[in-house]
Amino acid sequence: MWQTILVITIIVVVLLYIGKKICRQFCLATDPSQEITCDCSCSGCNEAGCSNKNPNNKKDI
Amino acid sequence: MNNSSITMALAGNPNAGKTTLFNRLTGARQHVGNYPGITVDHKEGYFSHNEQDITITDLPGTYSLTAYSVEEIVTRDFLTANKPKVVINIVDASNLERNLYLTTQFLEMGVPLVIALNMIDVAKDRGIEVRARKLEELLGVPVVPIIARTGEGTDELIRQAIIVGHSEEKWQPIDISYGEDLDKIIIHLDSIIAESDFLTNSYPARFTAIKYLEHDDQMLPLGQKEDSGIARQLEQIVTTVSDHLLKTMDVYPEAIIADHRYGFIKAILRQGVVTHKFDTDRLYTSDKIDKVLTNRLLGPVVMLAILFTLYQFTFSWSELPVALMGSFFGWLGSVVDTLLPEGPLKSMLISGVIDGVGGVLGFVPLIMFMFFGIAVLEDSGYLARVAFMMDRIFRIFGLHGSSVMPFIVSGGIAGGCAVPGVMATRTLRSPKERMATLLTVPFMNCGAKVPVLILLIGAFFSDHKALYMFLFTLLAWLVALVVAKLLRSTVLKGEATPFVMELPPYRFPTLQGLLIHTWERTWQYIKKAGTVILAISILLWALMTYPGLPQEELDSFAEKRIAVTESFSETIQLEIRESDNHNGDLSESALALQERLTTIDQEQSGARLRNSTAGRIGIFLEPVSSLAGFDWRTNIALLGGFAAKEVIISTLGTAYSMGEVDVDASDSLGQRLVRDPNWNSVVAISVLIFIMFYAPCFVTVICIAKEAGSWKWAFFSMAFNTFFAFLASVAVFQIGSFV
Amino acid sequence: MTLKNLNKKCGCFAKKVRQCTFGKNCPNVTGPLSETCHTGKVKICKVTGDRKLCARMASLGVMPGQEAELICPQNNSQCLLKVHGGTLSLDQLTSSNIIVQSV
């Protein structure tokens, strides 16, 4: 029984994850300002070098 | 964002080292290849220097600021729209004359400039000594010698850039003389522009005047939009001048302008900025190598030999590590099998996760060797020569020389990715040539297809793995080019456009650089396998597991088991129960019983897979797919491959492991396929051809829609590729079976 | 195919090979870059073709009066030209529009 509950939980998490990924791809297709190679979401990018500005993303030299 | 943040832009010629410097400053891990056109769009990064926040933009490589190519338009638009506080112009110290051409235009535009004199080490090796101070004095902007690859001088560069960024001076354009006659015209145009405030918000008046004389493709419509009356007046003056020059000197004004710019640069360099230890006319080693490696006859032979050696090296060196990885995942499967009690979680972990993702991760060593080889070709500058040599062939098939790089990036040497390949088509200006490239780059063998190719080649043609891999790579090129020709002769008919590319000099790759590039790409592969592929594998496992068998069927299998067991004596039954599945100690009769029980178990898992959602879809497609020799399990894998091509291998792993119950005794996926009655070498080739050419993965399709500006082409790509791949597979299977 | 024809064909091919690999025996004439069959220095006499091509070539330093070095001559095909310190790869369409003279 516990195995079934765990498996169902994992599948739900996986579905949410894949759903988010698909949503992101469509966001990228509709918003050309975002870079498809970067880890961006509809609300912004999180990688240095990506289009959407994110002040959290910096590095000291 | 911090208000005191300074905005900087990195600009320069292709291959001057912008992206290397950008990565060094921001820590971004975007790959830098030694060929032009890697940065099509501008990229932004953030870092701080002595508590000063800095936003830096990596602009595409350009030779000028006149709108000849998309890179030049992107650069100029960025400078006028964003007005960065400082522009860092990276120039290659070993090739100053060409690089300073762009600098003169920045100076004419008046942007706050700092010059980063990059690759001073290379210049020194070539016997070129550059006096940065003198250059600084003559140009009137800070010049900082740096080596972007090692980071030498970058601190000083940023310090100077911050000083320039903080100075509140307005953009100060400088004037270059274009000869008495043109100067008079420029002054005249300048006065008209300045008086009417024509485009002065974006450009200095003199800059606009020069661009009008250069017949700039972007400036003329912009002017029409701003004030058509003034624009007409300017155009009229410029046309009169152009006609006169053409009649008297047989040149257009832009040629005279370029000539004077080069004259200006030469005048500066001759004032003691550059001294050559060796004869300036001598050919460098790079040019000498080119005489052989790009030779019309020798070049292609050497190219094919290099590619074949790459495959040979990849396969021979990775054989042992791949086998070790396979054994590791096999061991992991048996550990999970021993530790967990029977149930859905165990099935998911073994069949979904270990057999699925393990199948993909098992190829990591091979992928790593392949990426290492490609990194050597890229970083040495040889890949640009491949593009040069392929240009001639591309012409025949109606493609442009700029199409070669997207093909290579997509996996022309196997191991790339169609997504950056599709994006790299932005460098093509002719819409029809671009569309033809866009639609054919997914035919290349991307990094995700490679493991499938290796698996099937390894299983069915194990004696000549490298040769077959090489042949399948050539086949991918051939099909892509033939399809391109087909498109260019039908729906995308049009004239060919000229192609000019600057070849970077050969450079000896650094081991550190090679290892970084190899690791970056391998890490991307591992990351994808551990995230997206893992998620899809679990989902496909669920689709291959549920709904389970109805109770009646389960009961019927249970009854079968009881009947078989009861047909043997009590002693044998007891022996089986006590042996705990260890075949070694069993008597002959006990072994026979165990074999019959295993057969029933296999029948049951086969029936369960057939009854599952994915199984039903696979079976539904089987009447059609069987024409190409694909059974229903392969259909499931091919459907999954639309999500990501790596899924094909993970799904095959899951589908073929769910059919077999005993994990301990199970072989590698390749061996299972060889044993399967539905598979043989003809089916393997048919499947390989289908996988190579059918619909691109989901992300590529979206990318095609984005780049083509319409979903119509994305759907066309999916439908056309699948139809074509299926026809090819059917032909191979039917002919192969007949023979 | 007669022996004579075969000889003719082979002779032609051999000539092509010689031109491709060595190609030193060309007359010192003015003509399109695409038809220049020897490596070495050339002087650019004229850049023809459409205005945009001329302008682009000029910005890359390929303009009348400029000396350049032909690294890899490819008869009626693309070629490598060293000019202003950079190595340019020019396709057939472009190189046929550049009129040069051997120096």
pLDDT attached to residue B559: 93
Q: Is the CB of residue C102 less than 8 Å from the CB of residue C29?
A: yes
**Is B706 touching A (CB cutoff 8 A)?**
yes
What tokens were used for B181?
Answer: 């006659």
Question: pLDDT band at residue B280, thresholds of 50, 70 and 90?
Answer: low
Residue C87 lies in a domain: yes
**Is B496 touching C (CB cutoff 8 A)?**
yes
The answer, yes or no, to whether residue B639 has pLDDT greater than 50, is yes
* Chain B residues 157-216 with a CB less than 8 Å from chain C: 214-215
**Is B542 touching A (CB cutoff 8 A)?**
yes
**Is A57 touching B (CB cutoff 8 A)?**
yes
pLDDT attached to residue C28: 60
Distance CA B5, CA B698 (A): 38
B143 forms bridges with which residues in the sheet?
B115
Q: Which residues constitute the domain of residue C88?
A: 26-102
Cis status of the peptide bond prior to B431, with omega within 30 of 0: no
pLDDT attached to residue B435: 92
Among candidates C93, C99, C45, which has minimal Cα distance to B430? Answer: C93
Same domain membership, residue B264 and residue B143 = no
Distance CA B14, CA B488 (A): 29
| Count of CB pairs separated by less than 8 Å, A with B | 106
Pick among B5, B336, B347, B699 to test the A interface (most A CBs inside 10 A): B699
- Please, what is the average pLDDT of chain B? 86
DSSP-assigned letters across all residues of B75-116: HHHHHHHH--SEEEEEEEGGGHHHHHHHHHHHHHHT--EEEE
Distance CA B167, CA B186 (A): 30
Residue C6 lies in a domain: no
Rounded to 5 degrees, what are φ and ψ at B59? -90, 155
Across the range B446-462, mean pLDDT stands at 89
Residue B406 lies in a domain: no
Are A14 and B532 inside 8 Å of each other by CB?
Answer: no
pLDDT digits over B474-508, tens only? Answer: 999 999 999 999 999 998 888 888 888 888 888 77
Residue C34 lies in a domain: yes
Answer with the residue of higher pLDDT: B84 or B417: B84
The CATH number of residue B228's host domain is: 1.10.287.1770
Residue C13 lies in a domain: no
Question: pLDDT band at residue B142, thresholds of 50, 70 and 90?
Answer: very high
Same domain membership, residue B152 and residue B18 = yes
Answer with the residue of higher pLDDT: B42 or B142: B142
Across the range B176-190, mean pLDDT stands at 90
Same domain membership, residue B255 and residue B121 = no
pLDDT digits over B697-725, tens only? Answer: 888 888 888 788 888 999 999 999 999 99
Q: Is the CB of residue B69 less than 8 Å from the CB of residue B427?
A: yes
What tokens were used for B136?
Answer: 């600084």
Nearest chain B Cα distance for residue C13, angstroms: 12
Rounded to 5 degrees, what are φ and ψ at B616? -65, -40
Q: Who's near B644: CB < 8 A, 6+ residues apart?
A: B448, B528, B532, B533, B536, B697, B698, B699
**Is B217 touching C (CB cutoff 8 A)?**
yes
Name the residue among B98, B286, B392 with its Cβ closest to that of C77: B392
The answer, yes or no, to whether residue B662 has pLDDT greater than 60, is no
| Count of CB pairs separated by less than 8 Å, B with C | 137
pLDDT attached to residue A58: 38
**Angle between helices B228-249 and B180-195 in degrees, nearest 10:** 180
What tokens were used for B183?
Answer: 């100067």
- Please report, as a single letter, which amino acid is at residue B508: F
Q: Who's near B611: CB < 8 A, 6+ residues apart?
A: B547, B548, B549, B550, B553
Question: pLDDT band at residue B279, thresholds of 50, 70 and 90?
Answer: low
Q: How many domains does chain C have?
A: 1
CA atoms within 13 A on the CB side of B2: 16
Q: Collapsing DSSP states into helix, strand and coil, what is residue C81?
A: strand
Nearest chain B Cα distance for residue C59, angstroms: 5
Distance CA C89, CA C103 (A): 21
Using the structure block, give the residue that is written with the tokens 């491709």. Answer: C20
User: What are chain C's partners, defined as 3 or more CB pairs within 8 angstroms?
Assistant: B
Are C53 and B498 inside 8 Å of each other by CB?
Answer: yes
Output the CA angle B223-B228-B230, nearest 5 degrees.
80
pLDDT digits over B48-98, tens only? Answer: 888 898 988 888 888 889 887 777 888 888 888 888 999 999 999 988 988
- Indicate contact of B with C: 3+ CB pairs under 8 A: yes
pLDDT attached to residue C74: 62
pLDDT attached to residue C12: 43
Give 3-state DSSP helix, strand, coil % of chain A, rounded to 5: 50, 10, 45
Question: pLDDT band at residue C14, thresholds of 50, 70 and 90?
Answer: very low
> How many residues in chain B?
739
Same domain membership, residue B123 and residue B38 = yes
- Indicate contact of A with C: 3+ CB pairs under 8 A: no
Q: Who's near B64: CB < 8 A, 6+ residues apart?
A: B72, B101, B102, B105, C59
Output the CA angle B234-B235-B240, nearest 5 degrees.
105
Nearest chain A Cα distance for residue B47, angstroms: 4
- CA-CA-CA-CA torsion sign (B663, B665, B671, B674): negative
What tokens were used for B589?
Answer: 């009769």
Q: Which residues of A touch B341 (CB under 8 A)?
A: 3
pLDDT attached to residue B36: 41
Residue C2 lies in a domain: no
Are C91 and B98 inside 8 Å of each other by CB?
Answer: no
Percent of chain B predicted with pLDDT > 70: 94
pLDDT attached to residue A41: 52
Distance CA A31, CA A40 (A): 11
Q: Who's near B201: CB < 8 A, 6+ residues apart?
A: none
- Please report, as a single letter, which amino acid is at residue B346: K
The answer, yes or no, to whether residue B599 has pLDDT greater than 50, is yes
pLDDT attached to residue C23: 43
Distances (CA, A) of B13 to B95, B119, B122: 10, 13, 16
**Is B47 touching A (CB cutoff 8 A)?**
yes
Are C55 and B214 inside 8 Å of each other by CB?
Answer: yes
Same domain membership, residue B257 and residue B141 = no
What tokens were used for B56?
Answer: 């830096």
Domain residue ranges of chain A, discontinuous segments joined by +: 2-45
pLDDT attached to residue B283: 56
Q: Which residues constitute the domain of residue B232?
A: 180-276
The CATH number of residue C36's host domain is: 2.30.30.90
Q: Is the CB of residue B256 less than 8 Å from the CB of residue B179?
A: yes
Question: pLDDT band at residue B617, thresholds of 50, 70 and 90?
Answer: very high
Are A18 and B699 inside 8 Å of each other by CB?
Answer: no
B49 forms bridges with which residues in the sheet?
B52
Question: pLDDT band at residue C20, thresholds of 50, 70 and 90?
Answer: very low
The answer, yes or no, to whether residue B217 has pLDDT greater than 90, is no
Using the structure block, give the residue that is written with the tokens 């350009």. Answer: B62
Distance CA B570, CA B729 (A): 54
Give first-to-last CA distance, chain A, whole Å. Answer: 54
Q: Is the CB of residue B663 less than 8 Å from the CB of residue B675?
A: no
Nearest chain B Cα distance for residue C7, angstroms: 21
Distance CA C50, CA C93 (A): 11
**Measured torsion, CA atoms of residues B613, B619, B625, B627, in degrees rounded to the nearest 10:** 180
* Chain B residues 128-157 with a CB less than 8 Å from chain A: 154-155
pLDDT digits over B561-592, tens only? Answer: 999 988 888 888 888 777 765 555 678 888 88
Among candidates B632, B631, B637, B639, which has minimal Cα distance to B610? Answer: B632
Same domain membership, residue B186 and residue B151 = no
Q: Is the CB of residue B290 less than 8 Å from the CB of residue B284?
A: no
Q: B286 to chain C: nearest residue by CA?
A: C87
Output the CA angle B482-B413-B701, nearest 5 degrees.
65
Sheet bearing C98-102, strands edge to edge? B500-503, C86-90, C79-83, C67-72, C40-47, C98-102, C30-32
Among candidates B150, B409, B406, B104, which has minimal Cα distance to B257? Answer: B104
Are C80 and B297 inside 8 Å of each other by CB?
Answer: no
Answer with the residue of higher pLDDT: B42 or B89: B89
Same domain membership, residue B151 and residue B25 = yes
pLDDT attached to residue C6: 42
Q: How many domains does chain B have?
A: 2
pLDDT attached to residue B568: 86
Q: Which residues of B touch C63 (CB under 8 A)?
A: 251, 255, 258-259
Distances (CA, A) of B22 to B56, B88, B378, B619, B625: 8, 11, 19, 52, 50
Rounded to 5 degrees, what are φ and ψ at B111? -70, 145
B502 forms bridges with which residues in the sheet?
C88
What tokens were used for B479?
Answer: 């099909």
Nearest chain A Cα distance for residue B116, angstroms: 17
Are B47 and A60 inside 8 Å of each other by CB?
Answer: yes
Among candidates B718, B727, B728, B725, which has minimal Cα distance to B696? Answer: B718
Are A53 and B55 inside 8 Å of each other by CB?
Answer: yes
- Please report, as a single letter, which amino acid is at residue B302: V
Distance CA B542, CA B710 (A): 34
